[in-house]
Amino acid sequence: MKQAYLDLDLIQLSTENAAVHLNKEFVLIDNLDEVPEQTNMEMEFVNHPVKLSFTIAIFCLTGRMSVQINLQEFELRANDILIVLEGSIGEYRGMSDDTRIAVIAFSSEYFQTALQVDATMSLQHKLYSSPFYHLSPAAMKETMAIYRLMKAKIAETDNPFRKGVLLGYTQVLTYNSYKYLLAADADDGKLNGKSGRQQELYTRFIREVQKSYTKERSISYYANVLCVTPKYLSQVVYKVSGRFASDWITDFVILESKALLKSRKYTIQQVADMLNFSNQSFFGKYFKSKVGCSPSEYQKT
C-alpha cells in the first residue's frame, strides 16, 4: 500500500506527473489534452486523508470526481468548481474515466493579495461554509481560457515577471469566483428556509473546531468561544447540519488520527500526545470505539 502524506504541501504536489509550477508555490495540474485511454490522474494520496497547506481550486469540465473535504462528501460534475482553503483535511476518492479537470493550487500569498481585506475575509467565510459551486458554461469557458494563459505564462522560463502576471490572473479568477458566490448566495436566500443567524453560528462552530480539535473535544469549550450555551449550540448545529456537534468534533479528531497514523511518521503514543489524549491507552479505546479497530490495526491496513 502506498504511504499517504500527513501534510500535503505544494512541493509534493508539484512532483505529480501532470504538474507545471512556478517556484513550487503556484501549481497547475490537468488532463485536458489527454485522450481517455491516456488519462492517469490517480495521485499517490488517493483514498487517504491529507491536510492541505495551500489553497486549491478544482474545475471539472466533464465526468465525475469524488472527494471528501472536512468530512463533507462532494461529487464534481461538468462545470462544477470546488475551492478548498489552506488547513482543510481532504480525501480524494477517484474519478470516472471520462473526467476532465483542471487544478490550481497556490500559497496564501496569491490569495491574500487578490482582494481587499474585507472582501478577502468575506470570501473565505463563504468558502468555509460552502466550497462547492456550479458555473455556467460561459463562466467555465472564461475560467479555462485564463487557466491556459496561466499555464503558458509558467512555460516562459525566461520571463522575470511571471509571478506578477500570475498574481494578476489569480486576481481575475478570485473576483470572478466572488461574483459567482454572491450570485449563488442570492439564489440560496430565496430557497433556503434556515435562519441566517443559525447558519452563521454553524459555520463559525465548524471553523472553531477546525482550529482547535487537536486540543479541545468538549462542546462546552466551543460554546464558550461562541458565547452561547452548549445546549443551544447543539440544537443549532443539529438543525442546520442534521448532525450533533459532538459528532463533528469526533469526526475531525478521527480524521486527523487517521492521517497521522497513515503517515507512518509517528508512533501511536506520539499521535495520542499530538491530539491531547491523556495516554496511549485512552486514545486507543477512543479510536477503536469510533473506527472499529485499534490504531495499530488501522496503521497496518
CA-closest candidate to residue 107, choices 15, 27, 19: 27
Return the higher-pLDDT residue of 136 and 199.
136
Task: Give bridge partners of residue 80 from the DSSP assignment.
Answer: 60, 134
- pLDDT-derived band at 177 (thresholds 50, 70, 90) equals confident
Residue 78 has pLDDT above 90, yes or no: yes
On the 0-12 / 13-18 / 19+ scale of CB atoms within 10 A, 264 is exposed
Looking at the domain 7-191, which fold is it? Jelly Rolls (2.60.120)
Residue 115 has pLDDT above 60, yes or no: no
Domain pair 7-191 / 196-300, same fold: no
- pLDDT-derived band at 68 (thresholds 50, 70, 90) equals confident
DSSP state of 3: P
Give the model's pLDDT for residue 167: 87
Cell 461562541 sits on residue: 226
> Alpha-carbon distance 11 to 24, whole Å?
5
CATH code, residues 196-300: 1.10.10.60
- pLDDT-derived band at 63 (thresholds 50, 70, 90) equals very high
> Alpha-carbon distance 301 to 292, whole Å?
13
Domain definitions of the chain by residue range: 7-191, 196-300
Contact 54, 234 (CB under 8 A): no
Q: How far is residue 245 from each of residues 105, 257, 276, 292, measured CA to CA in Å? A: 31, 19, 19, 21
Q: Which pTM does this prediction carry?
A: 0.67
Task: Give bridge partners of residue 7 from the DSSP assignment.
Answer: 51
Give the model's pLDDT for residue 59: 94
Q: What is the mean pLDDT of residues 171-186?
A: 75
Looking at residue 190, its amino acid is: K
Give the model's pLDDT for residue 104: 92
Task: Give bridge partners of residue 94 from the DSSP assignment.
Answer: 66
User: Residue 115 phi/psi, 5° resolution?
Assistant: -135, 165
Residue 90 has pLDDT above 60, yes or no: yes
Residue 4 has pLDDT above 50, yes or no: no
> Alpha-carbon distance 158 to 156, whole Å?
5
Looking at residue 145, its amino acid is: A
Give the model's pLDDT for residue 175: 81
Q: How far is residue 172 from each of residues 18, 160, 165, 178, 244, measured CA to CA in Å? A: 24, 21, 11, 10, 39
- pLDDT-derived band at 243 (thresholds 50, 70, 90) equals confident
In the Cβ-directed half-sphere of 167, how many Cα atoms lie within 13 Å? 11
pLDDT mean across residues, the chain: 81
CA-closest candidate to residue 263, choices 295, 220, 291: 295
pLDDT tens column, 249-299? 888 888 788 878 877 788 999 999 999 999 999 999 999 998 888 999 888
The DSSP secondary structure of 243-276, one letter per residue, reads: S-HHHHHHHHHHHHHHHHHHHTSS-HHHHHHHTT
